[in-house]
Structure 1
């Protein structure tokens, strides 16, 4: 884990020296997708931090969704996700599902606010402190036989403002890694139905 984080940080340093790669809230806001879903009180227009990432993948949106909408499996294919625990592990993942997890060893509590199979998935992301501070939303759009996957994140409050002041590049790179990992795991086909909630 530490080796991967060091690699990401080194890569970020190289990209930070290249202005065209340095994604910021100001650069990303014009790219926002109007079809993205957001929970009440968290949206790009009023956020202190906003990130937008997009990648077209070879698999169908249904296949992509089968992996994305199963947070309990994220640690098997997403290197910086760990220790996913659901309030009700036997219930299907849907709107209102709550789960705790760790991202880059930061404890997170999340609650799903949108779950439209093959189309949208999103959750609030709350680090320690009063909820919620962030929301991450995913939009899946058919692209020929594949799928264009867009993820956007909004943040409000002191932590979001501090992140923005330091530069948004690490958040952008983490989302790029997330998209690349999702693309890789989806090449195996749909998440096995025997493991679906």
Structure 2
């Protein structure tokens, strides 16, 4: 009963906040949804049109997909170049992400446990987070383009925790992924020149 009350309160707060700002009650950015790529493999129930929060970021990196991929799967190294990550540990003392790998880390100051559910080398990686009040899928898609890599990252979130975080910090996910993309670009391009 307590969870239902919290969900109702969060939903009501969202409606009040969106009405106060003259926005529709949806937490989905029309611009982000318009750019959602059909190339990403979404888990059932976490497709972009079926969630509470969705963000899309993309950019071009002057490095081949193999280099960008290497930086994405070496998760234990993320804190060395992406400061919004910390304390990354992959189960079974692995150094790199693989299909089915579970990893524990901190992002946005929160401890998170993620499991890799999509793993297509040099093309797509995605992981999920599942709790009783929150679920998400974060995907990275690499597309060879102009001698480098078009990188698309999208995240779909569902549940009262996602709604509440978005209400409190509506741009945090988009900005955090821009930050991650910029750091990935700098690291990958430096590696490509060496």
TM-score normalised according to structure 1 size:
0.78
* Residue equivalent to 2:71: 67
Shift of 1:35: 0.1
Equivalent of 1:179 in 146, 165, 181: 181
Equivalent of 1:134 in 136, 139, 153: 136
Q: Which runs of 5+ in 2 are unaligned?
A: 1-26
- Tell whether the 8 Å contact from 2:74 to 2:96 is kept in structure 1 after alignment: no
Secondary structure of residue in 2 paired with 1:29:
helix
Secondary structure of residue in 1 paired with 2:99:
coil
Equivalent of 1:78 in 60, 79, 82: 82
Residues in 2 aligned to 1:115 and 1:168: alpha-carbon distance in whole angstroms: 29
Equivalenced residues, count: 167
Equivalent of 2:91 in 72, 87, 94: 87
Q: Aligned pair 1:114/2:110, yes or no?
A: no
Shift of 1:39: 2.2
1:1-197 equivalences in 2 (<5 Å): 25-90=29-94, 93-126=97-130, 129-130=131-132, 133-166=135-168, 168-189=170-191
Shift of 1:125: 3.1
Shift of 1:188: 2.8
TM-score normalised according to structure 2 size:
0.79
Shift of 1:24: 5.7
The structure-2 alpha-carbon separation of the partners of 1:60 and 1:77, relative to structure 1 and needing over 3 Å to count, comes to same
- Tell whether the 8 Å contact from 2:52 to 2:163 is kept in structure 1 after alignment: yes
CA deviations 1:10-63 (Å, max 9, x no partner) are xxxxxxxxxxxxx96222111100001222332112110000000101001111
Residues in 1 aligned to 2:186 and 2:165: alpha-carbon distance in whole angstroms: 29
The structure-2 alpha-carbon separation of the partners of 1:105 and 1:167, relative to structure 1 and needing over 3 Å to count, comes to closer
- Tell whether the 8 Å contact from 2:55 to 2:173 is kept in structure 1 after alignment: yes
Range with bigger deviation, 116-125 or 87-96: 87-96
Residues in 2 aligned to 1:105 and 1:164: alpha-carbon distance in whole angstroms: 15
Residues in 2 aligned to 1:84 and 1:131: alpha-carbon distance in whole angstroms: 23
Shift of 1:69: 1.3
Q: Which runs of 5+ in 1 are unaligned?
A: 1-22, 191-197
Q: Post-superposition, which runs of at least 4 consecutive aligned residues in structure 1 deviate over 6 A?
A: none
Residues in 1 aligned to 2:169 and 2:87: alpha-carbon distance in whole angstroms: 28
